[in-house]
Amino acid sequence: MPKPKPPRAYRIVAKNLVVTLKPNGTVHMTQNLPIDQIDTLTIEAVDAQGNVVPFTPDAPPVWTDSVPSAVSAAPSADGLSDVLTGLVIGASSIIGVTVKIGGVTYNVQDTVDVMPGAIAGIKLVHTLSPKP
């Protein structure tokens, strides 16, 4: 029986953003995270046609969070995903992940900027002041 071909590429998926990882290199990305949403970063392997295929890293991926008071990060037990929650509007954190697959190291540095959430209502503000 022929041996299955290894995946062609590995990528990280964040919201509507997909970034292909570079072997033995670091990919830098930036995204906005509304305070009222979460974002799940997921590491995937894909074949030559772009289909997601199963894979096993050499060891669980290592996730880092440069400013945990700005963005909360909660990696999954297998390390293949990380759920991000913005904590402070206007703050930023760099979420990093390093994964080794087949002896090859892949790194991602994701700068996450926390921004206000969706408009939930409109209010009218009265400001009284003396006549000129």
Query: Residue 28's pLDDT band (boundaries 50, 70, 90)?
Result: very high
The residue to which tokens 């892949």 are assigned: 106
3-state SS, residue 40: strand
Asked whether residue 128 is assigned to any structural domain, the reply reads no
Q: Check: CB of residue 41 under 8 Å from CB of residue 72.
A: no
Asked whether residue 40 is assigned to any structural domain, the reply reads yes
What gap in Å lies between CA 101 and CA 105, rounded to an integer? Answer: 6
Asked whether residue 131 is assigned to any structural domain, the reply reads no
Residue 76 CB neighbour total at 10 angstroms: 14
Q: Check: CB of residue 91 under 8 Å from CB of residue 114.
A: yes
Asked whether residue 125 is assigned to any structural domain, the reply reads no
Asked whether residue 126 is assigned to any structural domain, the reply reads no
What integer is the mean pLDDT of 120-129? 90
Specify the pTM: 0.81
Number of domains in the chain: 1
Q: Which of 118, 109, 101, 100 is nearest to 33 (CA)?
A: 118
Asked whether residue 111 is assigned to any structural domain, the reply reads yes
> What CATH number is attached to the domain comprising 51?
2.60.40.3780
What integer is the mean pLDDT of 43-52? 86
Query: Residue 11's pLDDT band (boundaries 50, 70, 90)?
Result: confident
User: Which residues form the domain of 24?
Assistant: 9-115
What integer is the mean pLDDT of 49-66? 91
